[in-house]
Chains A and B, each alone.
Chain A
């Protein structure tokens, strides 16, 4: 993309599940400190693409990938790459809020503890910073040791965002983070995404086109495992170059 620094470069990337091909030769440059939305109808492979970036697909036994995903120029599927270390650089927020059945504090501290943080003060400070960054601090500061499961769905999702950014990843992958939430909670998450862009490269999968239009800088349109079109969000939505994109955006299918 012109004038942007590429953070993630997806090169001729294909994914097979057993005999079935899910992604076909996807090539896409994701710019740094921008929100890139991946849109498309259900089953188009957008979640698979997202989960390939932090190698969460490694856990499926029948799954095979081809091509490269370069993070700062280095293939995340390279032989010398440790997927566990990779995931510390690439945070993820899931479709359904999935806080651990632990306290609010312990949820945010989890990634730090996993990385071997021991200093209590340092952990406390980072937890507070992360909760503030996720716009949740004011709502939970008096009950940090209450169970995270007592929070509302929207609060839980913001907690999951706080948990993901506590370990200061470079990239934040978000898999339909607002799809299980009500409109008010959704609005808060979207606001948050716009703010987080200053510090993180964000890749946002969504089947909600308005959401992509509202929060993203760039949009990629995926259809049946193929990348149909990729460009600045404003251009994709106002002046799509491909007919399939226009059909999808105008609600002719999907």
Chain B
């Protein structure tokens, strides 16, 4: 064999190997959680309350709590994210200040989530007096996911051909009408995909809700947005660190982890399906 061919084979093998390692790691992770968690998974586990200091029972309130937090964070991040992306893409002049703001937003994505948690604690819980509650947690999670939502909205808006905007403006539409009637509808699938991916991340975050929304124990489901809630990731943390019956709690933690994993995978999978669907519909 020639040296060139050896080199070709070697690098090809190396890339393939990396691929196999990743696949194995992923498979082991999912398999492990599924194996350990599958043993406790049942309808009863999904739909009942924790009992006996978390050592028995299910995770129903944690599922509900996570859903509330996710929905709440969407209420925060969707309007804020879409409007700021529209401003950045459609209106903002090419000015150094605007450029600085844009980089600042993207940098926010790199801030550790526990920092957002502390921010939420001092601002929403204390300063605004919302207490440890769904509202405080949703605001914290919403703000944490803003950089991702804004970035994906910006990308979606930029992918709308300039020709659509010109056509609309030339017909005597002003800029806002153009954005509302042409650009946003065309960008909608991209915005939705970005939002769903952000949701997948929000659902699994522990640190931001630790001081702002979550609790290990609640009597019944939350009755108002100002109640504290159980949430899946925080419940896992609780099962592993609190209580007195680890031999009973650890299997439950794996069960909870499996539910969270399935939830996040479902969310991300639906984003992929949506994107595929819209990619077939749109032809520009």
Contacts and interface: CB of A to CB of B under 8 A. Distances in A.
Given A98-B163, A110-B181, A149-B283, A91 B174 contact: no
A87 to B, nearest CB: 4
B60 to A, nearest CB: 43
Interface residues of A, number: 27
Given A61-B94, A98-B163, A149 B170 contact: no
A59 B284 CA distance: 23
Interface string A35-60: 00000000000000000001010010
A98 B283 contact: no
Contact of A94 (B167, B177, B283): B167
Interface string A88-128: 10011010101111100000001101110000000000000
Interface string B168-203: 111111100100011001100000000000000000
A84 B173 contact: yes
B245 to A, nearest CB: 58
B163 A114 contact: no
Contact of B284 (A85, A87, A113, A149): A149
B282 A87 contact: no
Given A98-B161, A98-B164, A149-B284, A110 B171 contact: yes
Nearest to A62: B94
A167 interface: yes
B79 interface: no
B242 interface: no
Interface in A164-199: 164, 167
Given A98-B161, A114-B181, A61 B172 contact: no
B118 to A, nearest CB: 41
Nearest to A56: B170
B282 to A, nearest CB: 6
The interface residues of chain B, by DSSP majority, are classed as helix
Contacts of B169: 56, 59, 87
B166 interface: yes
Given A110-B181, A114-B181, A167 B171 contact: yes
A163 interface: yes
B27 interface: no
A7 to B, nearest CB: 18
A110 B172 contact: no
A160 interface: yes
Interface in A63-93: 84-85, 87-88, 91-92
A91 B171 contact: yes
A163 B282 CA distance: 20
Nearest to B160: A101
A54 to B, nearest CB: 6
A101 B171 contact: no
B23 interface: no
Contacts of B129: none
A85 B282 contact: no
Interface string B272-284: 0000000000111
A98 B167 contact: yes
A94 B167 CA distance: 8
Contacts of B93: 61
Given A98-B161, A100-B182, A114-B181, A56 B172 contact: no
Interface string B233-253: 000000000000000000000
A101 B167 contact: no
Contact of A54 (B94, B161, B170, B186): B170
B12 to A, nearest CB: 41
Contacts of B171: 87-88, 91, 110-111, 114, 163-164, 167
A111 B283 CA distance: 23
Contacts of A98: 161, 163-164, 166-167
A180 B181 CA distance: 27
A102 B284 CA distance: 12
A183 to B, nearest CB: 23
6 contacts: A56-B169, A87-B170, A92-B170, A98-B166, A101-B164, A114-B181
Interface of A: 54, 56, 59, 61, 84-85, 87-88, 91-92, 94, 96, 98-102, 110-111, 113-115, 149, 160, 163-164, 167
**Can you list the 9 inter-chain pairs with the closest CB atoms, starting with the nearest?**
A88-B172, A98-B163, A92-B170, A111-B171, A87-B172, A114-B173, A98-B167, A149-B283, A84-B174
Given A91-B171, A100-B164, A101-B282, 15 more contacts: A84-B172, A84-B173, A84-B174, A87-B169, A87-B171, A87-B172, A91-B170, A98-B161, A98-B166, A99-B167, A100-B186, A101-B186, A110-B171, A113-B181, A149-B284
